[in-house]
Chain A
Amino acid sequence: MTEEEIEAYRMSARAWLTQNAEPITGRDRWRNLKPTSERVEDARDWQKRKHAAGYACITWPKEFGGQSGSSVQQIIFAQEEAGFFTPRGVLEIGLGMCVPTLIQYGQNPLRQQLAQKAAVGEEIWCQLFSEPNAGSDLAGLSTKAEQSGKNWRVNGQKVWTSGAHYSKWGLLLARTDPTAHKHAGLTMFVVDMDSPGITVRPIRQMTGEEDFNEVFFTDVDIPDHQRLGEVGQGWSVALTTLMFERMSVGTDLSFLEATDVAKLSLNLKINGTPASQDQELRRNLARWHINERGLKILSWRAQEMLLAGGTPGPERSVSKLIAASQGQDMAHYVLAIMGDQAALDSAALDASQRLLERSWAWGAAMRIAGGTDEILRNIISERVLGLPQGPRPDLSHKKKH
């Protein structure tokens, strides 16, 4: 695309967004903080409208419900959309990770049908990877899929499955060969969440909301044509899914920002003087702002690289590592200044403090979800800096699972 084409595309996207959504101004960011589960219908509706206007799944081929557009267009639209209140977080797992994996590894007509329905927001997807005994060590999972005729019969349990309770399809990583070495015995499937034998049990989170679930499989049959990739190739298919996750650079966690803390501090006191004049607080504001701004610049740079046809680097690992901890730390810092008010639940607090509550709770969650802080540091040090792996008793004797 030429500069002029890019600008024209940006302008028409912005015009469409302005007519169809409400712009975010600095003052009221906290308004978008409804729990994910309460935003499902809004998200479907928004996706349908985007699709009708030609802004949904821009890079997917037309035959799969996309626009056969370029990643340049996709990035531009995402940049513009970030400035508006839109129901985020509901469809991202499916549209950002699961369906792209399906498109890469699935067979027609299944993949065509499912991708089209996902693109218009009709069917939602969840990611069935983690298990009670396999989180960071994902390849250690034990949910079994055994071949029986043209089907696979699945038994086992998944956990922390975000959105399983409103999903129609799941991307399921299961063990098909318990005798093979850990990573070699896995296969990826697509599973209809309405299949007989599946029980979805919501898990109540620390926050009291229910966004993720336990998913139990008892003799669930999956037709072989719903297998993605070869039998035993599940690990490399899973790595593709996680790569798609990494491509989603610039995701916003909706945590406190330094200016939000500054705003809160205007009404708080430290030892009798306005908190906003406190030296220590001001230094922290500076440090937090420097991190926030730095991450924004990194994500702009990643987008610039994508636009130029390059591939992004480890920006997402760096970004989540900093942003999640920082959100949590900021909340703790403000709570300390609040004194006895910190003992109160958000219900008793001003609406503007919902961001504080969100950072306090979801800062903790985001240090775990999508690769814990420790796993991200392992990834950075091993893959970027080339440091050796620590001892891996699970690999040393090519031990069986």
Chain B
Amino acid sequence: MKSQNDKITFILNGEKVSYAGNPMDRLVDVLRENFEFTGVKEGCGEGECGACSVLLDGKNVPSCIIPVATVQNKEIYTVEGLREVKMFQILVNSFADAGAVQCGFCTPGMMISAYALLQSNNNPTDDEIREAISGNFCRCTGMNMIIEAIKLAVNRLGETE
């Protein structure tokens, strides 16, 4: 049996949580199954598609190739934890208005990557936007409408500042 000390503690969507299971468990499984944040999607399990993206200390990372042990004392956000955040809401509205959502399976991961970009760069170029989401596959939209959605969000953020 594990002792209390073996628990992995981290901040998840603003709350301190701990996980007592196997430290090698994949973060995606822990988030989806133990904490029921199913907004984190699994598309490949190989770190390629970006559907499982979460914010790890503000950076977008694929949670399917990260053992939960590595997030000890770190801060994780999934889309569920961002619902009340203004910048995220602006992104959501922009995705809806720009027609950037089809099947939606890539969308939460895409939102995470877009959010991470806008947090670090409030006026990204087209190329920077492309680069920021190049690790997020979308098989439905052809990507240009997603890029436009992010640009729309940039403009709206500029207006509200």
Are A and B co-members of a single complex?
no
Using CB atoms and an 8 Å cutoff, list the residues of chain B in contact with chain A. Answer: none
Interface residues of A (CB under 8 A from B): none
